[in-house]
Amino acid sequence: MLKTKNILDEKDKRLRLVSKEVTFPLEKKDLDMIDLMVEYLTNSQIDDLAEKYDLRPGMGMAAIQLGVAKRFLTIVHEIGEEEFDTYVICNPKLTRTSEEMIYVEDGEGCLSVNRDVTGIVPRHARVTVEGYDVNGNKIKIRAREELAIAFQHELDHLDGILFTDRIDKKNPYKGKDQMRSI
């Protein structure tokens, strides 16, 4: 089982690497890692299990957060009480974005950033992400609101970008009036 301590901290320089595209078929170790990522993200959003296993809650994870510079990510989105939609995408690319911009009112978080961060992270309200499933089949995902933010956040990880990089250092709430909070 994956533990919170296995996730790289923001001080780790590997988080700044640009991840490389994967080839198919995926290696067994990558498939095993994907299973662990999904298990962690699911369990971390179920209060009893998060407490039992001391897991920090998270919705998404990129392979680089476990020290593997490969372009795949997982998102486990809670759609109901302990009911989840799970997304696994390899070699993802953002192919469409909305003009409307949003931000997380309480602030974005990250499993690799274990501290409070003030400021807003401008994100597109709707996105289309294209890539491949674990078997190499082409997939397209349309996401909005919270799920769109999660995809943008994880895609940033694949390019060595942390959400803290997207907060204006001089004016952390810059542009807030031109965006909608969620």
- pLDDT tens track for 68-103: 999 999 999 999 999 999 999 999 999 999 999 999
In DSSP terms, which residues pair with 74 in a beta bridge? 61, 88
* Residue at token pair 């204006």: 168
- pLDDT tens track for 113-155: 999 999 999 999 999 999 999 999 999 999 999 999 999 999 9
Identify whether the C-beta of residue 44 lies closer than 8 Å to the C-beta of residue 52. no
Indicate the pTM of the whole model: 0.97
pLDDT at 155: 98
d(CA 130, CA 109): 24
pLDDT at 119: 96
Mean pLDDT of 34-46: 98
Active-site residue set: 154
Q: Can you say whether the dihedral through the CA atoms of 69, 128, 56, 134 is positive or negative?
A: negative
pLDDT range class, residue 23, cuts 50, 70, 90: very high
Q: Which domains does the chain have, with CATH numbers?
A: 14-181 (3.90.45.10)
Identify whether the C-beta of residue 84 lies closer than 8 Å to the C-beta of residue 90. no
pLDDT at 56: 96
Average pLDDT, the chain: 97
d(CA 177, CA 113): 26
pLDDT at 115: 95
Mean pLDDT of 152-167: 98
